[in-house]
Amino acid sequence: MKKEIKRIAVLTGGGDCSGLNAVIRAVVKSAILKYNYEVIGFMGGYHGLYTNDYIKLDLKTVAGIFHQGGTILKMSNKDNLFNFKTVDEKGKVVYKDVSDVAIENLKKLNIDALIIIGGDGTLTSARDFARKGVNVVGIPKTIDNDVPATEITFGYRTALDHIMLSLDALHTTAFSHDRVMILEVMGRNAGWLALEGGIAGSADVILIPEIPYDVKSIAQTVFDRYNRGSKFTIICVSEGAKPVDGDVTIKKIDTDSPDSIKLGGVGDILAAKLEKVIKPVTGQDIRVTTLGYIQRGGVTNTFDRVLGTKYGAYSVDMIARNEFGRMVIIQNDRMDSVRIEEVVGSGKTGQTSSGGARIVNPHGDLVNAARDIGITFGD
């Protein structure tokens, strides 16, 4: 028997990206105009669900937000309500399950279904809430484009635009000074951003997590280009890239975050090693640019506005059909859904797990096409 839906809620968790507001807008407009549902939004992700911090979402609220990056609902990646950081009466930090508080808030507000937008960690908690009887629909979110089961996530294409434009800008100064320019981009476990952004931005070398690199091989590419008259080289490196004889570059350990290991600095490490080999031979300097959070922000591009709309509208259709405990996906350019456990795994409650990230195939068509036009991968 289908549950009658009258009031729904939505929250955004994890890191921000372009297209989130497009999703929120589609959820609200579809819910109100197609189904006559009431909609509220919890502020700051799961933290707002815990503290009962919410706003009413109506047609006026979402007017004019379509193009904006980020999220009007704000977000947090530090609030796992199944393993929540608290301080006891003795001042000692302890972690405990406070999910029942969130569930009670949903009941008090008469929420019939909850749309949760996020990546692995956020969706793991969505799985856990579904296990406790909450009517959950998940929407995948990451600029890394590595969520399994779906072909593409919103925010990815806008991030690619930022990478492409940055590489375009670096070309002019690289050419003017005969330099080797390194652009470090995001991509913890999957190299989609560096790969597609690098191809679009005419990078000469692309380094991704899926293909370990050798500094000598990269240096040889620089020498080959120099000897044939191209006295500059552009390198696009994913933050998760690693050498054949080493591991990823860790920037810091943040014990206050679910993802405690923060990557960063591979561009600087690579530059230091590469300059020792190259400069004595060609005299070339190496400069590094870390694109960082620029990839997450800015005006949402056309593709992500449309994609976010498709995700948001379909999630409301799922609610109307009582399809809960599932995540919206796109396969073969068609909207569909899968059980959330197929995406994040069926691990223990409160523990982030993964069903296997969607990574680059080192022997796939995209890598092969890049190699065909002379791009090297440092292997």
Question: So which residues are the catalytic ones?
Answer: 144
Range 273-293 burial, b when 16+ CB lie within 10 A, else e: bbeebbeeebebebebbbbee
From CA 191, how far away is CA 197, in angstroms rounded?
A: 10
To the nearest 10°, report the CA torsion of 195, 200, 206, 211: 20
Residue 249 to residues 2, 222, 227: CA-CA distances in angstroms?
Answer: 50, 23, 31
Q: Is 13 helix (H, G, I), strand (E, B) or coil?
A: coil
Q: How does 48-87 read in b/e, with b if 16+ C-beta sit within 10 Å? A: bbbeeebeebeeebbeebbebbbbbbbbbbbbbbbbbeee
SS (H, E, C) 136-178: EEEEECCCCCCCCCCCCCCCHHHHHHHHHHHHHHHHHHHHHHC
Count how many residues are written for the chain. 379
Convert 232-262 to b/e letters by CB count within 10 Å (16 or more is b): bbbbbbbbbbbbeeeebbeeeeeeeebbeee
Q: What is the CA radius of gyration of the chain?
A: 23
- In this structure, what DSSP letter does residue 251 have? E
CB atoms < 10 A from the CB of 178, how many? Answer: 15
